[in-house]
Amino acid sequence: MPKPAAGQARRRSTRATLIDAVRLIEALRHAHPEATCALQHDNAFELVVATILSAQCTDRRVNEVTPALFRRYPNAAALAAAQPAEVEGLIRPTGFFRAKTRSLIGCAQALVRDHGGEVPNSMAALVQLPGVGRKTANVVLGHAFGISEGIAVDTHVLRVANRLGLAQAVDPAEVERQLMAALPKDLWAFVSDVLIFHGRKVCAARRPACDGCPVFSLCAWPDREAFAFGTTGKATRAMRREPQPSGEPPSASSAPRRR
């Protein structure tokens, strides 16, 4: 039998990878039907604000802070005119509150000045806003506008995507590129949500619950069996080699790192 041409082999390999990735994400969807954006919001403006606040902070803590913040500043115009000290007092529990306040007020002022107070629905415009980077823009586009331009890669997504075998990279931008190549566009907005849920509920950083993992048989992590059967010496050593996101928490004298 003649061997397939090189191009045919590449297409077949890419197709197989796509099918495997979709199968894994669909299995996670079935295991975590509640997976959605954990940041509570009613509109695009609130989602931008909540996502900026979530830098170096848990979504749970952000959700505790934002109700009072949104009551006081319900739109971009109100936040643009805010006194920094008042905003700082409201968001202090999220950490790095001075830097985040500068980003929030600066973002609101840019929205009023350049977009009539409305959140734009394009990647190019969003990443020009203070405190907004590609990750935040992906969250806003996917959940506020239903637009898939990319995949938001946070700490959970970086860890879980590498463990499962959906990606193999340390750099979040490269993980995003690999996930986009492995999954159809209609899954891009959802994949972050479900990987985050799986990372929080099952695939934890220090002690993943491999023995109860719903996608154990599909997972490519070499040390999953060690955690499943309690022989974690080797696995613990291997975890030190796992990719970790680069970057540092924002300092008090700088704006939060773009997400």
Using alpha carbons, list the distances in angstroms from residue 22 to 26, 33, 129, 140, 220: 6, 16, 33, 23, 15
- Dist. CA 111–CA 79, nearest whole Å: 10
Which distant-in-sequence residues (6+ apart) come within 8 Å of 81 by Cβ?
Answer: none
Catalytic residues: 135, 154
Q: What amino acid is encoded at 96 in this protein?
A: F
- Dist. CA 204–CA 252, nearest whole Å: 30
- Dist. CA 22–CA 96, nearest whole Å: 38
- Look-up: residue for tokens 């891009």? 188
* Torsion over CA: 15, 179, 201, 59 (sign): negative
